[in-house]
Chains A and B, each alone.
Chain A
Amino acid sequence: MNYLFIALGFFILGFILTFSRRLSYLAALAGSVYVFIAGVTSLNIPQVSAAYYLLPHISIGLNIDRTTSLFFIVSSISFAALSFYSFDFGRLFSRKMGLFFNLALFGMVLVMSAADSIVFIIGWELMTIALTFQILERRNTMTEAFQFLAFGEASTMFLLLGFAALYFTNNSFSLINISHASTLFLVLTTLGFIIKMDIFPFHTWIIGAYSKAPSHTAAMLSAPLTLMGVYGLVRVISISGSTKWWGIAVLVLGAVSAFWGAMFSSAERSVKKLPAYSTVENNGMILTALGLSAIASFYSANKGVETLADFAFLAALFIAFSHTIAKTLLFISVGHAKEALQKEDIDLVRGIWRNVGKLPAFGILTSGLSFSAFPPTIGFVGEWMILEALFQSYKFMNNVDRIIAAFAGIMVALAIGLATFAMVKLIGYTALGPDHGEKAHKFPSSAMKISEIFLILLLFIGGIFSPYLIQLLGYGKFLSGLLAVPDPLLIVSAQPIFGVLSPTMLTVVIIFLIIIPLLFFVFGKKKVRKVDAWNGALPLSEEEYYTVPAYSFTLEYILRSVFRMKEKREGYITEVQNKDIAEYIYEFIGKTIDKISTAIGRIIMNGRISLYILYIFILFLLVFLFI
């Protein structure tokens, strides 16, 4: 617990040291390290702080149990990488950024360690407000920051109502050591958390906020912030227990969200909106896995399904971890390139490898590979797990459950395929694509590069040594050995064995297969003649490069009714426009509220002061009576 207090102390120090950017981010880094230490040291020894009484019956406190420890470890990796990255990147913004940065981390750590709903809500609000101000650090971002705040407050509202329901059931605000909760609590808090997880249809704010926000803020919005949503759901399930209907509801919502996010990311043309939609996809997969786990719990007494609930839950954790690391890496690498080239469109951020640097290019490449489930990255292991879990849904006793799980499986499989399509686009154009010949803007980036290396290594280490990670998470029952694969290097998806994977051995094979051709290449006769790709006998001119919208046009055209695709043309100006259906919902809500408020405004504010005073009086009475 002391490590947690030290971490929080460092974050507070970070607010104070705002006058010096470096010191402020250094405090954030130190705090992140202590969060990690707090997580590791509390893995097997739950710790609870003293209770601090606000009122005679209302106390607040902190708690680090196993769930908190696991989320501490994962989120602290992202915190640390972002803090160190900000040593250089933070120079591009005002000193206030350090304050908001530390405040956001402080809020997130409070959320994860809250022993009661009061601390939880305080942490929740702190991180929301701090991130809103971080978005505002860029010019002309008022709309996007406001959208983020609106969704954030909607989330808070549901959580407040949910916690109120919990209070009525238990007569306590405590989130630990209770196991009774009403359905209302489960529904309301689930809504509150999935809003934070950018689940369809609550994801529309990401389109503007991720692209306009500074890259380290976008990384924070995408990785640790959505992880808080996952944490919240896990915590809620631990309180109320999972039920089958809840499982089915979140399974469907998650699967649709995964498909939706992957589909729109495959059509995105902005270097930051593409990863934004990828976040919707990944969180959709996490939700699917949690839903499947809940359904499987219902059948856990049946033969062959005993371990599915745990395996699906493990899949959710793995995807959450891989997403946090890979998405942080992707955003900081993309941000590095974006700042160097001062461009936003994927088409214009081409040639990062040659023009900006090998590390940001490699960062985009490896994170993209992880999202494409490329072995031996951690993303590969996570996505194998969710598919393996979904494959086992045929063991459910009820046909309706089987069909629903099969539907989710199809959606998730499509999502994984589309995500690969999107990532190939991002990697192909930005990291490895031919550059425009434009000079990249030079700025100090040593810390940024170190952060990138750190996360690149983690992506591979996490994947290669994933059996040990599973052991650390406490799911040793899914580890085994078989033939030449020693125990515990084989991951098994069920007991008795259903499917197996050994990322460690797979890596050995891959290395072996690479080393032999590499030796031939290095020591063989180098009779390699390099020529440009054949382009009809002429070099490509700048206007002849295959553009990003062209890459996905066929997909958009085939799914044009889903994309709401329109081919617009005015004279010689033409383009393809898509619109997310969810945006129509909010436009409708916005217009309806606008109409109602206009109508009410006309009745009340019609120049008659007596009517206006009456309105204020009635409102005052209502507030007085009910609040």
Chain B
Amino acid sequence: MSEQLNITALNNDVISSSNKNPERLLGIFNTAGESKCILFDGKNFIIDCHDKVKSYPIYDIIKNRNSVIGKSEFFGEGVFVFRYGPVTSWLVEPGVFHIYTYGERILGMNIDVSYKSRNIEQRLLGLNPTEAIPLVENICGNFSFSHSLAFTNSIENILGIELNPIIKSYKIIGLELERIYNHLYVFSQLANAAAQKVLTSQIQFLFEESLRTNFIFSQFRYLKKLNNIGKLNFYPDKKTLNTIKERLNKLDSVLKNLYERTLDSKNFLDRLHATSIISPEYALQNSLSGPTLRACGIKEDLRQHDKFYEDLNIPTISFGDSLARLEVRVEEIFESIKIINDKIDFVDKVKGLVPFEEPNVPFENITGSSIGAVESPSGIIADYVELENGKIKNIYISTPSLFGFNAIKDSLPGMIFTDFPFSVDSFGSFFADAAR
């Protein structure tokens, strides 16, 4: 039996859209002794399972997502496994890249994400949704707001909560702030990999500035402890919002200048150009989303189906390489700043007009299931949640990093070691996010 859920990024308001893509497999889980899949067609999430999914190239990766991504094996004179990790320089979190090589050439790769596995889905079982939020936020520090938002979305869907436009706007601001600092982080990592020390310092400065903006907005640099079911725990006042606006406008102008200069640096661009090219066909077959998908020319973004994102500009580039992924991310920073400015203006304008009420729906006796999804900085986070008497009975969290690492594994063979950081960093994937 298939269950079609028309659920968008932040609530259950659906804006009709005709831009569907081929069906993608985002997750597989068991419920009531039955195997179910989370499928996505670019617009709708479908909870279903059919035999065809077993032929999807991503099927085995999803089935074994807590261990090693990939089953590469190579033999021959001089071939060895270059193990990068689990605890070594450059890696910011434990994980292992098992790289088959006979020297500089990358022949194949398996990626072990298990070192960061914390069994968060298991630990969430039996908790009530409010208790669960801090744990969900800790799935991945860089995506804590996105994870929390996807989770609260699913609960709000079960509870039938329709968000107040002001609360919704605050949540959008939080999500876009998270996107900005994540994209800046990726940019600084790529600049650092190319030994562009001045550029790296400048971008790291902007990254630090964006974390401070997060702090001003939420009292936490990584936007934690802010989100809640149907509400926020904290609402910045008008003065704070104006400060955020000023800071972001300044960031916008500095970044534009830096970005223009970056695009003039052949030395930097050469390192990213033609590195780890992802084709649109591969991207769709392997469940990619976010900037990686948009960097191969596919105009898809969960936010486009949300009426609260008016006139959303979705940057796309068709080349599919690391440079394209960076360009998409930087363009998205500018777009996010624009969105935040609009939302601050909106909050400022309507705060007195719209009754500002927080929903108060008790979930102690609620039983039901739903899916909540968010366009996180690196792609779709989709949470399928089942509640039974107000407690989490079943939960499956689909994360973009799993698909990102799979794409890294498939796109790096044939390249050389020098390309490694330019490839890995450009996907913006995290072991914590993949392993949960």
Contact = CB atoms under 8 A, between A and B. Distances in A.
A338 B5 CA distance: 70
B78 A549 contact: yes
Contacts of A347: 78
Interface string A519-563: 000000000000000111110110111111111111011000000
A556 B105 CA distance: 12
Interface in B54-110: 73-88, 94, 96, 101-105, 107
B80 A550 contact: yes
A549 B102 contact: yes
Contacts of A336: none
Given A269-B77, A546-B80, 8 more contacts: A544-B82, A544-B83, A549-B103, A550-B80, A550-B104, A557-B105, A573-B75, A574-B74
A550 B83 contact: no
Given A547-B102, A553-B102, A536 B85 contact: yes
7 contacts: A269-B77, A537-B88, A544-B80, A550-B102, A553-B102, A574-B79, A576-B103
A554 B104 contact: yes
A543 B87 contact: no
A538 B88 CA distance: 10
A266 B362 CA distance: 74
A543 B101 CA distance: 11
Interface residues of A, number: 29
Contacts of B104: 550, 553-554, 557
A556 B416 CA distance: 14
A553 B416 CA distance: 11
Contacts, number: 79
Contacts of A587: none
Interface of A: 269, 347, 534-538, 540-541, 543-554, 556-557, 567, 572-576
A244 B298 CA distance: 71
Q: How large is the interface on B (under 10, 10 to 19, 20 to 34, 35 or more residues)?
A: 20 to 34
Contacts of A541: 81
B86 A538 contact: yes
A550 B101 contact: yes
A549 B77 contact: yes
A537 B78 contact: no
B103 A553 contact: yes
A203 B18 CA distance: 71
Interface of B: 73-88, 94, 96, 101-105, 107
Contacts of A556: 103
A545 B82 CA distance: 8
Max chain A Cβ within 10 angstroms of own Cβ: one of B84, B85, B103: B103
Given A269-B77, A549-B77, A574 B83 contact: no
A547 B80 contact: yes
Top 5 A-B pairs, shortest CB-CB distance: A553-B103, A549-B78, A537-B87, A575-B76, A550-B103
Given A537-B87, A572-B75, A545 B105 contact: no
A567 B415 CA distance: 13
Contacts of B86: 536-538
A545 to B, nearest CB: 6
Given A549-B103, A554-B104, A575-B102, A543 B76 contact: no
Contacts of B76: 573-575
B107 A574 contact: yes
A422 to B, nearest CB: 15
Contacts of B74: 572-574
Contacts of A535: 83
B102 A554 contact: no
A88 to B, nearest CB: 32
A534 B107 CA distance: 24
A251 to B, nearest CB: 34
B79 A575 contact: yes
Given A536-B86, A536-B88, A536-B96, A576 B102 contact: yes
A549 B78 CA distance: 5
A535 B89 CA distance: 11
A187 to B, nearest CB: 42
Contact of B102 (A537, A540, A543, A574): A574
Nearest to B94: A537
Max chain B Cβ within 10 angstroms of own Cβ: one of A538, A556, A572: A572
Contacts of A573: 74-76
Contacts of B83: 535-536, 538, 540, 544
B82 A536 contact: no
Nearest to A537: B87
A575 B96 contact: no
A549 B77 CA distance: 8
Max chain B Cβ within 10 angstroms of own Cβ: one of A535, A537, A540: A537
B101 to A, nearest CB: 7
Contacts of B73: 572
A540 to B, nearest CB: 8
Nearest to B97: A536
A546 B104 CA distance: 11
A554 B96 contact: no
A574 B102 CA distance: 9
Max chain B Cβ within 10 angstroms of own Cβ: one of A269, A534, A551, A554: A554
